[in-house]
Structure 1
Amino acid sequence: MSDLDDDEQVSLVKRPDEQVEPFVFDGEIVDDEQPAPSRLQATAELLRVRPVITAIGGSSAAAATGRAARATARAGWVTGQGVVSGARRASAAVTHGHLREQVRLARLGGDTEAFADAHDRLEKAKDARAKRLLGLPRLLLGVLYVAVAAVLLVVALLFLGGVAVQATPGGATWAGWWAGVGGVLTWTGSLLQVLVSVALIAAVPLAAVIAWREGKRASDPPFWLMTADEKAQVGTEITADSITAALAHVKIASLAKQLKEGATLEFLVTPREQGGGTYFQVRLPLGVVAAELLPSKKVELLAGNLARHRHEVWPQRQPDADARVLDCWVADKGTLDKPAPPWPLLHDGVFDVFRDRLPWGATMRGAQVSVGMLQKHWLIGATSKQGKSTVLRVLALGLALDVTVELRISDLKGDGDWSMFAEIAQTLIEGQADEDAEATATMLEDLVAEMARRYERKRELGIVGPIPRELSRRRGSGFHPIYAIVDECQILYAAPHPVGGTKDDARAWRAAKRLHDQARAVNIHLMQATQRPDNRTLPVQVREGAHVRAALNVPNHETAKLILADAADRGARPEDLRPGRDAGTVVATGEVEDIPAGMAFAIVRTHYVSTQEAHAVAARAVELRRRSGRAGTAAATSEPEPIDHLADIKEALGDEPRVRTVVVLERLAARDPDTYEPWTAADLRAELLRHGVPIGKYEGQRVVRARDVHEALGARTQVLPQ
C-alpha cells in the first residue's frame, strides 16, 4: 500500500467475487477540483469508525446486564426484608407491639389522657393472654377427647357397616368389607401424599412471593437499588420523628441543645394527612418561640431537613396560642403544581353580592375559597407576569354577574385585559398616559362625591347601620353597590403632581384614602392591583385601608410586608412562590372567610379564566342585565323610586276573589325579585296589617281577600290631599 499514489481513486463498486462486510462510511461530498481521499485514508477512517460502533454496542450490553443484575439484587433484598418484617410482626404480635407503639407515641406527644388509655389497653391485653395460656392445657385435653371420640365413632360406624353388608343377601363377606375399607384408606393416603408433595413444592415460591410483597410494604430498598422516582421520594414521609430531627438542625442553638439533651416536642396536633400534605402543630421547648422559625432562611433549612423545597413548607405562628406554638403544613411533592379547579361560574350561574360568596380558588389543602365581596376594599400586589390582572379580573367577572352592581374600571396598562367590560362598566379607562392617570383620579373623586351624597340621603331616610338589601337592589335607589377597580395603580400614584405623588394636595391618594375611610358603609368599594409596590408608587395612605390583601410572587420580604402587612411577620412568604410556575397563586390575608380560624393567611390557587373565556362570561353578564332591564346601571338619583306594596299585592291577586298567601308571595317575587324574594309570610302579614287588611282563612288555608285590598286602596285614595 505504500506504492499507492495519494490521488488514486477508491472504487465504490462491488466486484462479483469480492466479499465486503457492511459498514458505515463517514465522509463528505467534494468538488471535482478537490483531491479525493486515497484508499489508505479511507481504510484508516473505516478502522476509526468500527471501534466506536463496537464500543456503543458493548456499552448497551453492559447497561442491560447492569439493569438485570440490579433488578435481581433488588428482588432478593425486598424478599429478605419481607422475611425480616414477617418475623418482626410475629414478635410484635407475641409482645403486643402495636399497643406498645401507641403508648410510645402518646408519651412522645405529651398526651396524658391518650397515654393512660393506651397503657390500660396494653395491661388488659396482657391479662387476657395470660388467662388464655392458663386455659391452654384444658383446651388441648378437650381436643384430644374429641379426637378419640371421633375415631371411636368412625370405627363403630365401620363395624356396623360391615355387619349390615354381611347380613345383606348377596353382600360382601366380612373380610371383603374390611379389604374394601383398607383400599379406600390406601387411596386416600396416596392422594394426601401427592397433595402434600405439591404443597411442599409450591411452598417455596409461594413463600417467596409473600415475602416479596411484605418486603415492598415494609421497607424501601437501599438507595443504589432504587428507581429514579423512588430516589426522589427518599425521606419525604413526615412523621413526629422526622419533624423532631428537622427542628434539631435549623441552627437555633437553644432548640438544638434541648433536643440533644433529651427534651421532647409536645405535638398539640400529631402529623396527619390534610389536603395533599401533612399538617401538624407543635409546642417548642422553653426558651424557643415560633417566630424564630418564620424567616425565609430558617424555612429553607427546615424544608431541606424535611426533603422539601422552600415553597412546599409553610410554618406560621398560631395567633390564638402562646408564642411557642408552631403551626405548619408541609406539601406532598408535586401538590403545588396542580392547577385550581375550573371556576364554578364559568359557564352558568349568577351572583348576589348581598347573599353569596364569590368562588375565588382553592387552598393548597384542596379546600374551596369563596369570599364575600360586600363592604371590603382590596389590594393585590405582584411582580410582572404573575397573573395579577387575571386574579383581579375573575373577581370583577363575578361581580358583573350581579345585575345591580356598577363597575368603574381603570386599566392603566391598556393591553386589552379589561376590554370585555366595555358594555358593562359605567366607566372604562384603558391606557397608561398621564391623561389616563388624571381620568382615573377624576373617577375616584367622583366616587367621593357620590359617597357624600349617599351619606346625606341615608340620614334623610333615617337609616342606621348597613343599607338594607331591598333598598340597595331597588332600581333608582342610589344605594346600589359600586366597585372601582384600578389595575396597575402604581401608574396612578406615580403620575406627575398634582395627580400622583405623596404631597398633601395630591389628588389620587387623597381620593383613595377618603374612599378607604368611609365609602364601604354606603356600598362603594375600591379594588387596586400593582406590580411595583413601594412607598412612592403605593403610598402608605392607600395601603392601610385594604380589608383583603393578596400577594403573588414578590421580590423580597420587605415588598411582601408592604402588601400583606403583619401577616408577612407571621409566616406569609409570597417571595417564596416560584415565578411563572406559581402564576395565579396568591398569599391572602385579611377578611377572607375561608382562612381557617386562628390562621394569619391562606395560600390560594385562584381560578383561571382566560381572556377568551372572560369575553364569554362578560357577554353572559350583558345578557343578564338586558333581561332584567338594567342594560346600563342607572345613575344615582336623589330620590329612590317609591314602591307601592299594596298596589303590587292587588296586581298579584289578579281577578280572583281570594288567593293563598304563599301564592301571593310567589307572584310578588316573580313580579319584582329584587324587592320581594326576601319576603316571608310574616313580612306580607305586617304590610297588610299596616293598611288595615286582615289575613283570612278559606278551607283551612290562609288567604288574602281581594275585597279587603280594594277597600284599603279606596280608603287611602279618599284621604289623599286634593
Structure 2
Amino acid sequence: MAERAHKQREELDEMGELVVFPGAAAAPADEPGPVTPPPAAGPVQPAPEVLTGELITDAEYQRSKARKLAEQAVSKLPAKWQSAESAKQAGAALAGRAAALPFRYPAAVGRGAVVSARAWWSWVRVADFYDAAKSSDSLASRWQEIAVVRRRRGVVTVAGAGTTGLAGLVTELTVGSVPLLVAGGAVSLVLAAAGRRKDGSPGRQAVLGGSRSLAMLLDGDNLIEAFRAAGAIGKGDPLYFVERPRQDSTGWSMVLDLPPSRRASDVIAKREALASALAVDEVRLILERVRGDRGHAGRVALWIGHSDPYAADPVPSPLASAASWDLWRPVPFGATARGADVSLPVVWTSLLIGAIPRQGKTFVARLPLTAAALDPHVRLIIADGKGGKDFRPFEQVAHRSIRGSREADARRLIRVLEECAADVADRFDRLSEMDDELCPESKVTPEITRDPAHGMPLTVIGIDEVQNFLGMDVPLDEDNPKGKKVGQRICELLTFIAKTGPAAGYSLVLATQKPDAQVIPDGLRGQLGTRFALKVMTYQASETILGAGTYRAGMDASKLLTSHKGVGLLLGADGETELSAGDAVTVRTHLLHIAAIRAACERGRVLREQAGTLTGDAAGQNDLADLDPTVAARLAGEVTATATGPEPVDAELLPEVLELLADVLGDDEHGLVPVAELAARIEWTPKRLGEELRAAGVPSAGKRRVEGHPNPVAVVDVDAIRAALGG
C-alpha cells in the first residue's frame, strides 16, 4: 500500500500539479510521516494551517483537467451559446434562414447580376479615368486616350463572350450538360455572394453609399461587436446573458453581465458611443445598473426602442382629475421611455429645474405646485419672476403670491422669505420641546403638519425664473449703496430655508432658464436635493443643474433633442427620497394645461375653506407683520452664518480633473504652473486640461513667462485649483 502511494506521488510530481481538496481525508495510517519534535518551553504558538490532500489516479487527474479546459472554453464562447434558451433562439433563427433560402437565393443572384453588370459597364467605359479627367478639366486632352482604351476593352469583351460561348457549345456537344450545369452553379454562387444583403451595404449603387442600421439578432454576436467597438469591453472579452432578450411593442430589453474587469458605470458613461455602434439615436438606448440583491457592479440592463419613445403625445397628469392630494405621497411626475411611472417626492427635499426657453420648464414646475394646491394642509407661496399668467391660478390658494420681478416685488419676496425663515427657527424650537412619541426624530410628521393646533403645515415655496430675483443688483439699504444687494439677501434666505427647512416641513421649487453658477451659487444649489434638467445648450449647464461629475457619469441634458419638450433628466442627490442618488432617470413629464390647473386650484380653495386653512393673500390678509426685533436679530445671524459658512466638498461629486490633480499636486506647491506640465502629470493633453479646468470653475491665468521656458506659456494658478478643491 505504501509503495503504491509513493509511486502515485512521484507520478504527480512529474506532471507538476497536485489537486488539493480542503477537508479531504489524511494519508493512510501505515504511511510514515514526519517526526514532530516536542514543543519548546514558552508561550504556545498557534499551529500553522495544514492543507490535506487526496492522491488521485492519472485517469482522475486527466478528467479533472478536461473539465477545467471545458469550463474555460465555455466562458469564451459567444453569448449565443451560453444558455439553452439562447441556443434554442439561435437554432430557430438559423432554421428560419434555411426555410427562406429558396426564395432569397434567386433574388441574391439577380442583385449580383445587376452589380456585376454595372461593374462591367464601368470597366468598359473607363469610368474612373473619365471622371478623374473631367474633374481635373483635362478631358479634352485625354479624350483620344480614353476612346482608345474603350475600344480595346470593348474588343476584349466581345472576344471573351465569343470564346466563352464557343467553349460552352463544344463542351455540350462533346461531354454533355453536366460541366455546364456545374459551371453555372458556381457562377450563381459568386453572383449571390456579390448580391447578398447586409447592414452597411452600399445600396447596390456604384456611387451612393448606404447607411448603417440596427440588426438586432438574438444570437448576441452583433451585440458583442457593438460593445467592443464602443470600447465598453475588450477585444477578447465576452458578454453573458443573465436574462434572455425580450421583445415587446416598445423595443428590445435584456440584462447582461460584463466581464469581471468592467464596471456597469463605465459602460453607461459610453452610452453615446454604444448607440453609434448599434446605429440608433441615444434617446432610443437606455442603460441602467441592476442594483440590490439581483445585481452587482458589473450587471447592466439594456433597452433599445423600436422608435423614438419621446415622440408620442404626452400623457395627461392624473392631478387634472384628482379630487385632492396628500403631499406626503410622491407626486405623479411622468414616465420613462418604457412607460414606467415616475413619481416626484416633495417632502424632505427641494427641487431645482433648469432648461433653455420653451422646453417646458414652467409646465414641469407647476406639477408639484398643483399637488400642493390640492392638499388643504399645505401652505403655498408663489413668486412668478416672469409676471405672466402661468402661475395666476395659484393665487386662489396661495398664502403669499408675488407677480413680477420688479424691485418692489423683490423686496416683498425678501419680507416673505424672512417670515418663512423666522417660522423655520420657531418650529425647531417647538419641535425640540415635544415628547418623543409625537416627534421622535426632531422632524415634522404627518400628524404634526395636519393638526392646526401645532401651526406647522407643510410649506412649499415655488419661484419661477428665480434668476430674475437672485441677479437683482440693487442695494438692500438705500442709504448704503455699496452694501449688500437685494439679490444677495434673497439668496441668503433661500439657502437658509433649503438647508434647514426640510426637517421643519419646508420645500423649495426653483425654476430657471439660466442655469449658471454665477446666478445660482454653489451654496444654494448644493442644498437642492432633487434636480431636473431639461434641454440645455452645453454639458457645463447640465452639470450646473445635476451636479459636478454627472457628465463624466454619462448624464448630459445637452444631448436631449429640442423637439422633446418636457423631457429631462431627473436626479435625486440627497439620499432622503426614493430617487436614486447615483443615476439620473430620463423622464417625459405629464402634461397639465393651465385650465386643469385652474380647476384644481378651485377644488383646493374649497378644501381649504372647509378645513379652515385658507390664509394669507388668498384669504385677503395681504399685510405682512413686522418681525420681532429679537427674532430679527437672531435670524440675521443664523441666515448669514448658513449662507456664508463653508460647505464640505463631496469627493464623489468632484470633477474628474480635480480628482486627478489632487493626487499629483505637492503640498508645498503654490503659484503659477504651466498647463502642459500639469497635463503631463495626469497624462492628458493641454487643451483638454484647460477646457476641463474652466468647466470646473478654475480660471485661466493666461500666458506668462515662467522659469525654464523662454517664451510665454499657458499657466494656471495652483492656489485656484486648491480653492476649487475646497482646501
Q: Which one of the candidate residues 228, 234, 239 is aligned to 1:248?
A: 228
Post-superposition shift, 1:307? 2.5
> Does the CA contact (< 8 Å) of 2:348 and 2:576 recur in 1?
no
Q: Which one of the candidate residues 513, 516, 534 is aligned to 2:495?
A: 513
Trace 1:683-722 onto structure 2 (pairs within 5 A).
none
Q: Which one of the candidate residues 529, 544, 564 is aligned to 1:547?
A: 529
Give per-residue Cα distances to partners, 1:118-177, cap 9 Å, x unaligned: 89xx9xxxxxxxxxxxxxxxxxxxxxxxxxxxxxxxxxxxxxxxxxxxxxxxxxxxxxxx
Post-superposition shift, 1:105? 12
> Does the CA contact (< 8 Å) of 2:397 and 2:605 recur in 1?
yes
The aligned residue for residue 487 of structure 1 is 464
Alpha-carbon RMSD across the aligned residues, in angstroms, is: 4.0
> Does the CA contact (< 8 Å) of 2:571 and 2:579 recur in 1?
no
The aligned residue for residue 623 of structure 1 is 606
Trace 1:468-479 onto structure 2 (pairs within 5 A).
468-479=445-456
Which amino acid is 1:550 matched to?
F
Which amino acid is 1:243 matched to?
L
The aligned residue for residue 557 of structure 1 is 539
Give per-residue Cα distances to partners, 1:645-703, cap 9 Å, x unaligned: xxxxxxxxxxxxxxxxxxxxxxxxxxxxxxxxxxxxxxxxxxxxxxxxxxxxxxxxxxx
Change (3 A) 1:454 1:498: farther
User: Bigger CA drift: 468-477 or 514-523?
Assistant: 468-477
Equivalent residue of 1:432, what SS?
coil
> Does the CA contact (< 8 Å) of 2:244 and 2:255 recur in 1?
yes
Taking the aligned partners of 2:419 and 2:544, their CA distance within structure 1 comes to: 28
Aligned: 1:571 with 2:562:
no
Post-superposition shift, 1:394? 1.5
> Does the CA contact (< 8 Å) of 2:80 and 2:86 recur in 1?
no
Equivalent residue of 2:229, what SS?
coil
Aligned: 1:532 with 2:514:
yes
Taking the aligned partners of 1:555 and 1:380, their CA distance within structure 2 comes to: 15
Equivalent residue of 2:516, what SS?
coil
Change (3 A) 1:598 1:559: closer
Aligned: 1:331 with 2:305:
yes
The aligned residue for residue 444 of structure 1 is 417
Which amino acid is 1:310 matched to?
E
TM-score by length of 2: 0.52
The aligned residue for residue 216 of structure 2 is 237
Rg larger for: 1
Aligned: 1:310 with 2:282:
yes
Change (3 A) 1:467 1:578: same
Change (3 A) 1:558 1:520: same
Post-superposition shift, 1:311? 2.5
Post-superposition shift, 1:518? 1.4
Taking the aligned partners of 2:520 and 2:407, their CA distance within structure 1 comes to: 17
> Does the CA contact (< 8 Å) of 2:86 and 2:244 recur in 1?
no
> Does the CA contact (< 8 Å) of 2:78 and 2:221 recur in 1?
no
> Does the CA contact (< 8 Å) of 2:326 and 2:375 recur in 1?
yes
TM-score by length of 1: 0.52
Change (3 A) 1:485 1:247: same
Structure with the higher fraction of residues in helix conformation: 1
Aligned: 1:523 with 2:502:
no
Which amino acid is 2:506 matched to?
I
Change (3 A) 1:488 1:578: same
> Does the CA contact (< 8 Å) of 2:411 and 2:486 recur in 1?
no
> Does the CA contact (< 8 Å) of 2:353 and 2:512 recur in 1?
yes
Aligned: 1:345 with 2:328:
no
Give per-residue Cα distances to partners, 1:528-562, cap 9 Å, x unaligned: 11111111111101111122111111112211111
Aligned: 1:423 with 2:396:
yes
> Does the CA contact (< 8 Å) of 1:379 and 1:550 recur in 2?
yes
The aligned residue for residue 608 of structure 1 is 591
The aligned residue for residue 368 of structure 2 is 395
Change (3 A) 1:274 1:525: farther
Post-superposition shift, 1:339? 2.8
Taking the aligned partners of 2:217 and 2:407, their CA distance within structure 1 comes to: 54
Which amino acid is 2:523 matched to?
Q
Equivalent residue of 2:318, what SS?
coil
Equivalent residue of 2:595, what SS?
helix
Give per-residue Cα distances to partners, 1:274-301, cap 9 Å, x unaligned: 7823334444446655555555xx5443
Post-superposition shift, 1:336? 1.7
Taking the aligned partners of 1:234 and 1:505, their CA distance within structure 2 comes to: 52
> Does the CA contact (< 8 Å) of 1:238 and 1:278 recur in 2?
no
Taking the aligned partners of 2:486 and 2:405, their CA distance within structure 1 comes to: 24
Equivalent residue of 1:608, what SS?
coil
Aligned: 1:454 with 2:436:
no
Taking the aligned partners of 2:349 and 2:257, their CA distance within structure 1 comes to: 35
Post-superposition shift, 1:224? 6.5
Post-superposition shift, 1:341? 2.1
Taking the aligned partners of 2:368 and 2:434, their CA distance within structure 1 comes to: 32
Give per-residue Cα distances to partners, 1:400-442, cap 9 Å, x unaligned: 1001111011111112110111121011111122332333233
Give per-residue Cα distances to partners, 1:298-337, cap 9 Å, x unaligned: 5443223322113322335667776655544322213221
Change (3 A) 1:556 1:270: farther
Aligned: 1:583 with 2:565:
yes
Give per-residue Cα distances to partners, 1:588-615, cap 9 Å, x unaligned: 0117999787971211111111122222
Give per-residue Cα distances to partners, 1:193-224, cap 9 Å, x unaligned: xxxxxxxxxxxxxxxxxxxxxxxxxx999996
Aligned residues with identical type, % of pairs: 25
> Does the CA contact (< 8 Å) of 2:240 and 2:256 recur in 1?
yes
Change (3 A) 1:598 1:278: farther
Q: Which one of the candidate residues 272, 290, 302 is aligned to 2:246?
A: 272
Q: Which runs of 5+ in 2 are unaligned?
A: 1-72, 92-196, 205-209, 478-482, 626-727
Give per-residue Cα distances to partners, 1:347-378, cap 9 Å, x unaligned: 23211123x33211111110111233222211
